[in-house]
Amino acid sequence: CGQCSAHCPVGAIYEQDETSKVWEALEDPEIYPVVQIAPAVRVAIGEAFGYEPGTLLTRKTYAALRRLGFEAVFDTNFGADLTIMEEATEFAHRLNDGGEMPLITSCCPAWTDYMEKFAPDFIDNFSSAKSPHEMLGVMAKTYYAQKMGIDPSKIFMVSIMPCTAKKYEITRSDEMFASGHQDIDVSLTTRELSRLIKASGIDFVNLPDEDCDSILGDYSGAGTIFGATGGVMEAAVRTAHHLITGKNLPDVNYEPVRGLEGVKEATLEVAGQEIRIAVAHWMCNIDTVLNRVREARERGAPSPYQFIEVMACRGGCVGGGGQPYGATDEIRAKRARGLYRDDESREHRCSHENPFIQTLYKDFLGEPCSEKSHELLHTEYRPRKPYKK
């Protein structure tokens, strides 16, 4: 990828262009092609069409995807809201029931691959929640397919990601096929999407703004900030606070986890308990946090943190390896600001307030971390051998 290809733990050093698989699906009358876009894509896709980095182009991107021929256009931000419901519930359970601490986020496949190969002593600390695009993929092939009366074997799910490691994640374990179908059929990068749009002759700049498709599209502000370092933690804190206290944070903007500092630490008081948080981004900063936990373990002391977010790319997904080339810290910061503007503009700022998420649990999943949620929305991690050189 742009920053860490030399150290890429998933071997995604050479970009695999999979646009031909998407063209084939779009042209096959037997297939029902659907698509989703990740948080960080909407603030970077415009750079291929002359826009400033950070310009929020969510609704123009939905329009472009419809013109390409997708039957339904969903939003990974909805999947991010679902990930937060599961992960924040997992955190509240561990906090109340004395489970393995710290809980560590697992929505970045480059980080999970690194951990399985180089830090397997943290496997029990990982959240078992799948990443947002996987969750949305499996909901499309179960919940959406049932509601719409579509044969799930005909649904072809494409995810547009800021990421090259997502191409590996979609087949990483049996749980990525939990419904009997592959959650995600093809994962394209932001760069591949801009090539698809250009190759099809779509006049992106002059497209109208359009809405995404129900019932897997509408998202909260918490879902969109997933794309910036600290965003997963901020989204999780918003919902974990509500789960534990029954109330939202007085101010949902949780500034201590924002920005490009390599390791950010914060303490949050929730119902009289201190929650110690760490956020690390860019692979070179990850061991700093892990070693602090290891040192405490060796001394028999409590963990210095109870909740850790890790993202492999500098700046989080806004600086991902599948984004337009040439990212600098200034560009990463502009893209992140676009996501925070999106968050502030949303009617609902917390994942648990998203009415479509509430309906999904009521009609289909039961409750967060239910048996059905575990079957479809969670995964496992295991030690793996590093690749041979």
Positions touching ligand SF4 (CB under 6 A) are 108, 110, 162-163, 165, 311-313, 316-317, 320-321
The DSSP output letter for 11 is S
DSSP for 33-82, please give it.
EEEEE-GGGGGTGGGGGTPPTT---HHHHHHHHHHHT-SEEEEHHHHHHH
Give least dist CB 371 to ligand SF4, A.
28
Contact present, 268 and 274 (Cβ < 8 Å): yes
Q: What is the DSSP letter of 142?
A: I
CA–CA distance, 280 with 262 (Å, rounded to integer): 6
Minimum Å gap between C-beta 108 and ligand SF4 is: 3
Q: Does residue 166 have an active-site annotation?
A: yes
Select 199 or 284, whichever has its Cβ closest to ligand SF4.
284
Would you say 163 or 260 has its CB closer to ligand SF4? 163
The structure tokens listed for 378 are 């969670």
Asked about 87 being catalytic, the answer comes back as: yes
Catalytic residue of the set 60, 130, 166, 334? 166
163 is annotated as an active-site residue: no
Residue 57 Cβ vs ligand SF4, minimum distance, rounded to whole Å: 18
Residue nearest ligand SF4, CB atom distance: 320
The four Cα atoms 334, 338, 344, 345 give a dihedral, to 10 degrees, of: 150
**Within the chain, where are the H helices?**
19-27, 58-68, 76-97, 109-118, 132-139, 145-148, 166-169, 190-199, 221-224, 231-245, 283-299, 329-345, 355-360, 371-377
Minimum distance of ligand SF4 from residue 110's CB (angstroms) = 4
Active site residue 27: no
Min dist. Cβ of residue 369 to ligand SF4 (A): 23
Catalytic residue from among 86, 106, 127, 163:
127
Does the annotation mark 175 as catalytic? yes
Sheet holding 263-270, edge to edge: 103-104, 307-311, 273-281, 263-270
Closer residue to ligand SF4, CB minimum distance, 54 or 162: 162
Q: Which is nearer to ligand SF4, 90 or 113 (CB)?
A: 113
C-beta of 280 vs 312, nearer to ligand SF4:
312
Catalytic-labelled residue, pool 317, 350, 351, 373: 317
The nearer residue to ligand SF4, 165 or 207, going by C-beta atoms, is 165
Q: How far is the CB of 115 from ligand SF4 (least distance, A)?
A: 12
Spot the catalytic one: 175, 234, 309, 353. 175
Hey, what are 113's tokens?
A: 């691959």
Tokens of 313: 């790319």
For the annotated catalytic residues, the residue numbers are 87, 90, 107, 127, 166, 169, 175, 317
